[in-house]
Structure formats: C-alpha cells, structure tokens
Amino acid sequence: MSIHQLDEQTILKIAAGEVIENPASVIKELVENAIDADATQITVEIKEGGKTYMRVTDNGTGIRSDQIDLAFMRHATSKIESYDDLFRIHSMGFRGEALASIKAVSDVTVLTKTQEDSTGSYVRYCGEETKRQVVAHNTGTTILVEDLFSRLPVRAGFLKSALAEANRITDILYRFAVAHPTIGFKYVKDEKVLLHTTGSGIDNTLAEVFGSDTTEALLPVHYKDAQIEINGWVGDPSLYRGNRGMQYLFANRRIITEPQLTQLVESAYTGKIPHGRFPVFFLWVMMDPDKIDVNIHPTKSKVQWSVDTSVFLPLKQSILQSLEQATNRHMIKEAEEKKPERVNLYTMEEYTERKNKTRLAAKNVADTKIAYQPAPVPKPLKASVQKYTPEQIPLQMPEPGPSKKTERLFAGLRPIGVLHKTYLIFEDTARQEMVLLDQHAAHERILYEKLQQEFQKDQVRTQMLLVPQNLKVKPHEKTLLEEKKQVLAELGFLVEPMAEDLFVIRGIPYLIGRIQDPRNLLYALIDTMEQSVHAIAADIQERLIKKACTEAVKAGDVLSDLSVAQLLAQLEQTKQPHTCPHGRPTYIRTSVKTIEKWFRRIPS
C-alpha cells in the first residue's frame, strides 16, 4: 500500500475526534470561549441530549466581523502568541482547535457583535457552504450547533441515549457554575430550566446548584504555603454519595481530574463514612501558571505539576482538623414523619433480671446513675459481657486519652432499657430527648481509634511469623519493595530480599492480627504501592476497621451496668463519636416533641 497525503477535510475530522467526543465536549469548549470573552451571563440550551441542537449565548466581548472565519480555522487563537505562553496561560482555551473541530463535524451558526460594531454578524457554516448577513444583535456571541456528527455517521453511532448525553452536559455545567461563581449560568434542556445561578458569589452559587441541605453540611478548608494555595469546602461525614459525582476539583479555576489528589482527600474520610461511599468536596488549587502544564490532554482536563506532589500532603491534615471540629454538629437527622412500629422493649428491671438469670453480676440502677454524671472518666475495668447463654465474653475498653471536648455528649443520661438486645435506650432529661445507642457500633469506634492512635504514633509492633513466608516477585514489584522498604517497616512489616526474584516475609503488623496467608496481604499492598504511599496507609486503615469490628462487643451481648457506663464515657472521648468506622451512626436522638407527634398529642 502506497503512502499518500490525506486531504484537509479528512485531517480536520480526525483532529476533531480528539477534541469533540460528544455533545458535552462541544458545550465545554463553547462555554470556555464565553468565559475567556469576559462574559458575566452564559445561557446553554439543548435538545435531544445535544445531538441535534445546542446553543450557547453569552454577553462577552464578541467577535469582530472580519475575524469570524479566522476564528473557525485550525490553530487560530487570541489566547497565546508562542509556545512559551502555554506556561503563563490564564485563559480556559489556548489551542485554537475547538471551533474548527465543531465546524468539521456539525452545522454551525454564529451571531456576534462587539461593542465597537454598530450591527451584528450572522454566519452559517454548513459543510462547504457558508451564508452571511448583517443582523441586529446585542454585544456578545451566540453559537448554534446542529446535527452533531451528521457527517460522521460511524461516530454518531457511539453516542449514548439522549438522557445520558444530557446528564453529561448537566454535570459539566454544574462544574462550570461552581468554578466561576461570579458568572451567571442558565441551562435549558428541552425548554425546561434545569440550572439558573445569579453569579453572586460562591456561597450563593453552591446553594443555587445543590440546595441549602448540602451547603449546611459543608466545612471550610484552607491550606497555603510558598508554592500552593488550596481553598474550598469538604462535606461533613453525614454528606457522602455512591459515586464521585460531587467531587469538584479545580486548578486555577480550570476543571480537572487528579486521581492522586482525590485519593488523598478520600483517605481523610477512612472510618468516617461507609465503605464504598465517597465524600463530597469542592476544592480550588491555586498555583503559578508556570508550575502547571495544562497541555498534556486534548480535553485539558488533566494537568501535570512541576512541583513535587508532596506539597498536597498537608491538605489531608487540614481536612482532618475540619472534620474533627464538626464532630459536635448533629449529624443524624430525625425521621419526623416515621411512625414507630410495635417492638419488644425491655424495661431496665427486666433487662437486669435477664442478666441475673444468665449469671451476670448486675449492679443497681441507682449505682450506674453516678457514671452518667459529668464526673472523671472511670479507668477501664475488666467488665463482663454475656450473650444470652452462660458463656462469658470480656469487653476490652482502651485507656481513655485526653479530650479536647468541653461539652459532654452523654452527660446526665438516665438508662431506660434495651431494644432487640442491641440498642441501649436512655433518657436525656436536660434536652428532653430519647437516645438510642448501638452498642456494637459504639465499641467498634472506641477500639478503632485506639488501634489508629497506635498506628499514627509509630507504636506499631511487628509480630514475627513462626514460619517465614517466601514471596516471589516480578522485576517491577521487586523495585517497589526495595523503594518502600522503610515505609513497610514503619507499618510493621519485616520483609527482606533473598534472591533476584524472591523476598521473605518475617513479620507483619501486630495490629492486623492473624491472617491465613501473609503473602496475599503483601501482594495486595504491592498493587496499592503502585498508586501512592497514601494508598498503603488507607489499605492498613481498612484492616484496622475490620479488626475493630471483629473484637467489638456484638449485637446480642448483654452488658453490665458498669460496662454501659464505660462505653458511654469512652465513646465521648473519641474524635468521631457519631459514627462507627464504617460510617454508620453510633447513636440517634429523638426529641420528646417528635414522639408526642407520633402519638398525635400535639399537631404535626
């Protein structure tokens, strides 16, 4: 087959495929142009998911009538003069490819007017045909894109349903609205307004886009050093999603994806939200443009940093501090409209009698009341726990650490009974509330934070294996193990090289406990190491959660009065008393007023 030169139209269509993947790509490029034109109001209208109709209108500077054709030529731009300008770029676009690519794969109509022009210009590009005329138009630009990929039927076949394509557009417009909160955005889908922001600042924009329920659960985050500044909000542990759809990351107000930074943020939520759920965050990374390369991906959604990514590490600590400050916020919403089901509820006397029958030494309720008063935290004792069988199980309570909290969460609680052999029931007379506490979740939180403290304070002990295990590795795995040997040692692993492709595992972290095959654990960590050191720590923390879950008192175990008192006191001292390490609530409060509504004693 002979070599030949491709014609210009074929080249254009191939190049367009790198920039324009779907209707959302078109909207992204047109909105970025509107932002670069200093628009303060941008309206986006679509039909059929953008496949047949997309119109973007702005009140920006407009395009001079003699430069409209130039704007739709490849590599024609007003943003840069030379390659060096890429490293001083402040605009959204810079390559001059977007409009030419859109024109190559669809029919495009342009209406535009500058402040200096007395009339507006109308130009329609339909394949090789071009129509022009003078029209009345406000200052700014309107671009209408119709029949996307109509000249590339194979490419059109890869588009998803109208609903799926519209959802992509919705997502990108939400991100633009948040990234540029001083610009008003209006989004109309099939003649219905789905988004309308006023451009009156980030606080109002977040409320307009996501609602007050979301904004009330956001915590401010700030970090700054000589190289970088990061500002924004993260959700408190009650605010999470089933996917990463509400994770917003911007570099100099450019919408980006950054897996390593995302992973760092998510690692701050380990043990605070349920496994498999994702935190919500809105973060702006501000850095000198010459330290960010935005020209590594056709869609400009990925960036490369010229600084070491370790500059992001303090961000995690900043998030942890914000989350710790939020622990006193009430995270569990009451189900005001739910009516209680008929339940089997033990009284405290029945509960005590049941413990006596199972040979548990029960103290008088009067004695236990002392433990619920704002008194010094009792030292841990070997309290007895019992299932509803004669077999006894010890309840291990860690030493209480120093607490920074000034307000007691559970001061003055009066024990009432137990529900379903799991949920301890108390009355808070001061707040006029009923408190239900999940004994397993509460103990799990206490044990997890004890293990975590040992882990974070480099108090991780190594348990030596009676029989060292050989670990066969590939060349790249060997390199990783050699590079991360010190990190693994700090985590409690003792791994030594034996041959070119062989290591020996002599010890594993004591905190992890017994495992059937240490080699599987190391192989899993090797896979994690290929991502980042943060991922290793996150993997260890997941194992700490499992260990805490295994050792915690179970549902169905019967606690003595003293054990219950200790459970409350020690939970109160934790950093995250509201949830277990999996993110489930440890307790809920229901007001007497709500209960009276259930029984219709007062109007709903």
pLDDT band at 531 (very low <50, low <70, confident <90, very high): low
Instruction: Identify the pLDDT of residue 446.
Output: 92
Say how far apart CA 349 and CA 417 lie, in whole Å. Answer: 8
Of 30-39, 83-92, 168-177, 283-292, the range with the lowest mean pLDDT is 83-92
288 pLDDT above the threshold of 90 = no
Instruction: Identify the pLDDT of residue 334.
Output: 40
Mean pLDDT on 203-222: 92
Say how far apart CA 12 and CA 17 lie, in whole Å. Answer: 9
Instruction: Identify the pLDDT of residue 407.
Output: 64
Q: Check: pTM over 0.95? Answer yes or no.
A: no
230 pLDDT above the threshold of 90 = yes
Q: Are 373 and 380 in contact (CB under 8 A)?
A: no
pLDDT in tens, 251-278: 988 899 888 899 999 989 988 888 788 9
Percent of the chain with pLDDT over 90: 42
Domain with CATH 3.30.1540.20 in the chain: 345-452+556-598
551 Cβ partners below 8 Å, 6+ apart?
396, 447
Mean pLDDT on 142-155: 89
Domain with CATH 3.30.1370.100 in the chain: 460-551
pLDDT band at 365 (very low <50, low <70, confident <90, very high): very low
Instruction: Identify the pLDDT of residue 89.
Output: 52
Q: Which of 243, 234, 244 is nearest to 214 (CA)?
A: 234
414 pLDDT above the threshold of 90 = yes
Instruction: Identify the pLDDT of residue 368.
Output: 30
pLDDT in tens, 108-128: 999 999 999 999 999 999 988
Q: Which residues pair with 505 in a beta bridge?
A: 469, 495
Q: Are 44 and 58 in contact (CB under 8 A)?
A: no
Residue carrying the six token digits 């960010």: 292
Say how far apart CA 420 and CA 436 lie, in whole Å. Answer: 11
pLDDT in tens, 534-550: 566 666 667 777 777 88
Q: Which of 461, 444, 459 is nearest to 512 (CA)?
A: 461
Q: Are 418 and 411 in contact (CB under 8 A)?
A: no
Instruction: Return the CATH fold of 8-196.
Output: Heat Shock Protein 90 (3.30.565)
Structure token digits, residue 515: 């495992």
Instruction: Identify the pLDDT of residue 408.
Output: 80
Q: Which of 324, 327, 318, 397 is nearest to 560 (CA)?
A: 397
| CATH of 211-328 among 3.30.2130.10, 3.40.50.720, 3.40.50.620, 3.30.230.10 | 3.30.230.10
pLDDT in tens, 481-524: 888 888 888 878 899 999 888 999 999 887 666 677 788 878 87
Instruction: Identify the pLDDT of residue 362.
Output: 34
159 pLDDT above the threshold of 70 = yes
Average pLDDT, rounded, for the chain: 79
Please work out, in degrees rounded to the nearest 5, the angle formed at the alpha carbon of residue 396 by the alpha carbons of 395 and 399.
140
Structure token digits, residue 581: 């390490």
Of 5-9, 74-78, 459-463, the range with the lowest mean pLDDT is 74-78
Bridge-based pairing of strands 218-224 and 192-196 is unpaired
Domain with CATH 3.30.230.10 in the chain: 211-328
Domain with CATH 3.30.565.10 in the chain: 8-196
Helix (H) / strand (E) element for 556: namely: none
Instruction: Return the CATH fold of 460-551.
Output: Ribosomal Protein S8; Chain: A, domain 1 (3.30.1370)
Instruction: Return the CATH fold of 345-452+556-598.
Output: formyl-coa transferase, domain 3 (3.30.1540)
82 pLDDT above the threshold of 70 = no
Of 140-144, 318-322, 375-379, 548-552, the range with the lowest mean pLDDT is 375-379
Percent of the chain with pLDDT over 70: 75
